[in-house]
Amino acid sequence: MDGLSVWHVTREYAGLAEAGGVKDVVRGLAEAQVRAGCRSTVVLPLYGFLPEPLRSGRAVASFVVSLPDQDKGNAFFDESVRVLASEREGVRILLVDSPRFASARDVYTYTARDEEEDHWKTRGSGHWDAHQKNLLLQRAALESVLALRERPDIFHCHDGHTAFLPALAREDARYAAALAQARAVVTIHNAGAGYHQEVWSPDFARLLTGLPGSVIGRGMLGSGVDPLLLAGDYASMVTVSERYAEELVAERDSEMGGGLGRLFRERGIALRGITNGIDPRPWDPRSPGTSGLPSRFDPQTGDLAGKRECRGELLRSLGQPDSGGDPLYAFVGRLTGQKGIDVLFHALKELLASSDRRVFVVIGRGEKNMESMLGWLASGSKPGGRLAFIPRYDQDLASLIYAASDFFLVPSAYEPCGLTDFIAQLRGSIPVVHRVGGLVKVRDGETGFSYDEHTPAALAAAVERTTRLFHEQPVLLDQIRRRAFAEIFSLHTWDRVFAESYLPLYQTAIPGQAWTRR
């Protein structure tokens, strides 16, 4: 839709502020909107770790926000805020500059340096003022609209960090009249425990947001206030795959949404699933200049000589021998229970004891006990290095691992969409996934392999199966690799996802309809 104005409100943006998959979704969708002729704006915190040149942008708004401090008897403190304008790939970036964001060295958590300076700021733990940061961002988006005298067609709010905005825009008299014709979409990127950004008490939520108790009460989930639940009264709710939407509303597993799906059902709040896309260009191994790989190869034609060179370079860099005739399995991601690391550990323990026909590479950071488990397993593996474990996240090394591997393991307990399976397909690495959530897009025997039970035995059996096929049916694997690569370009680009799914969603939300509470 030519001229459609979409404002994304987010804590992450790829290339600037990176933490999880949200960054890739927001950037991919925003840039696809620009290519389609829309006006796309991203409102993002100006974190302290962002490059200095961004601080010289043009100021488009300035204001003061008063926020309560739970450690000081909920007394209110003023914070001065500026909003600076920048641009990337045609997307306007509005950066929220404040002392609270300027002091942040990471998007959501404290760093090792924070811990050194203040021992109570444990590395990896969330910021004590996360709720204040979230509200500051949302107020900044709304204040910027007033300052710029613009009228967005859509506010697209990403995750619980921004999900109070639809209620603020409708219920706060400062914004309601000016934004009467705007609409809101809230994307739930992950509804697992710890992702809701729920406020621990209705009294503090009322102080934090300025919303009346009658409104706050609609967001009560247990004893806290869940912004995602409240957003259901004011916005179109969407999540990042069709299957995950079904699982979340069904909520057979309490970890899936903590009661959110049940209340969606009871209140008749519709939750739509739109499977994320990907920008294939940075991952295309046919363009080493863009992908950053040492050698070019083409999964579409079966020209994999460069892939074998990537394997050799990877194993040399890790100090591992390369037999050349054994399949290489990889895992890249966060080391958490959601990502199935407990299942992966026990499966690897069994597989390493039973055969020397495979090589495994695992890279990632996360929960300390899981890092320790994998480190112990790697240190005790047989001579010859059948398991390499890299307990950090190194983007360049991860990129090489995708390219070097034959199979890519995704053993998630639940997975809203999944991006690593897409990247693996582009790099000619065949995904082996737990058939859950967005991972059902990997079709067993066609674009990868899948298994149903979330157990070490099921994962180990899937690995055994693919090892047999590697040795006995290489032609079949080549067909799967080619089909998986081609389908990224035909089905899963952000341009297609926007045109076929998000644009219709925006269009049905727009014409002359003021927001109405359910």
Residue 518 lies in a domain: no
The residues pairing with 81 across neighbouring beta strands, listed in sequence order, are 63
Are 88 and 224 members of one domain? Answer: yes
Which range of residues forms the domain containing residue 152?
5-278+497-509
Are 221 and 257 members of one domain? Answer: yes
Are 265 and 307 members of one domain? Answer: no
Are 302 and 267 members of one domain? Answer: no
Are 239 and 217 members of one domain? Answer: yes
The continuous run of DSSP H or E covering 40 comes out as strand 39-45
Residue 248 lies in a domain: yes
- So what's the pLDDT on residue 364? 92
- What whole-number distance in Å separates Cα of residue 418 and Cα of residue 397? 20
- So what's the pLDDT on residue 385? 58
Are 362 and 342 members of one domain? Answer: yes
Residue 515 lies in a domain: no
Which one-letter amino acid corresponds to residue 428? Answer: G
- So what's the pLDDT on residue 349? 93
| Torsion over CA: 298, 304, 310, 315 (sign) | positive
Q: How many CB atoms lie within 10 A of CB 57?
A: 18
Residue 514 lies in a domain: no
Assign residue 72 the CATH number of its domain.
3.40.50.2000
- So what's the pLDDT on residue 388? 92
Are 136 and 84 members of one domain? Answer: yes
Q: How many CB atoms lie within 10 A of CB 501?
A: 17
Angle at 162 between CA 160 and CA 167, to 5 degrees: 100
Nearest to 255 by CA among 452, 454, 440: 454
Residue 90 lies in a domain: yes
Residue 516 lies in a domain: no
Assign residue 222 a region: left if phi > 0, alpha if psi is -120 to 50, beta otherwise?
A: left
Are 289 and 171 members of one domain? Answer: no
Q: CA distances (Å), 76 to each of 64, 70, 79, 279, 415, in order?
A: 12, 9, 10, 43, 39
68 close to 74: Cβ distance less than 8 angstroms: yes
- So what's the pLDDT on residue 123? 85
Nearest to 202 by CA among 225, 218, 222: 225
Are 99 and 138 members of one domain? Answer: yes
Residue 424 lies in a domain: yes
Phi, psi of 31 (to 5 degrees): -70, -35
- What whole-number distance in Å separates Cα of residue 278 and Cα of residue 489? 9
Nearest to 260 by CA among 214, 209, 225: 225
Which residues lie closer than 8 Å to 420 by C-beta, 6 or more apart? 332, 333, 408, 410, 431
- What whole-number distance in Å separates Cα of residue 297 and Cα of residue 459? 29
Are 204 and 285 members of one domain? Answer: no
Number of domains in the chain: 2
Mark the ranges of the chain whose per-residue pLDDT is less than 70. Answer: 1-2, 252-257, 381-385, 510-518
Residue 50 lies in a domain: yes
What is the DSSP track for 228-278?
HHHHTTTSEEEES-HHHHHHHHH--SGGGTTTHHHHHHHHT--EEE----B
- What whole-number distance in Å separates Cα of residue 408 and Cα of residue 518? 44
- So what's the pLDDT on residue 513? 43
Are 256 and 171 members of one domain? Answer: yes
Question: What 3-state DSSP class applies to 330?
Answer: strand
- So what's the pLDDT on residue 8? 98
Nearest to 230 by CA among 204, 203, 253, 196: 196
Are 73 and 26 members of one domain? Answer: yes
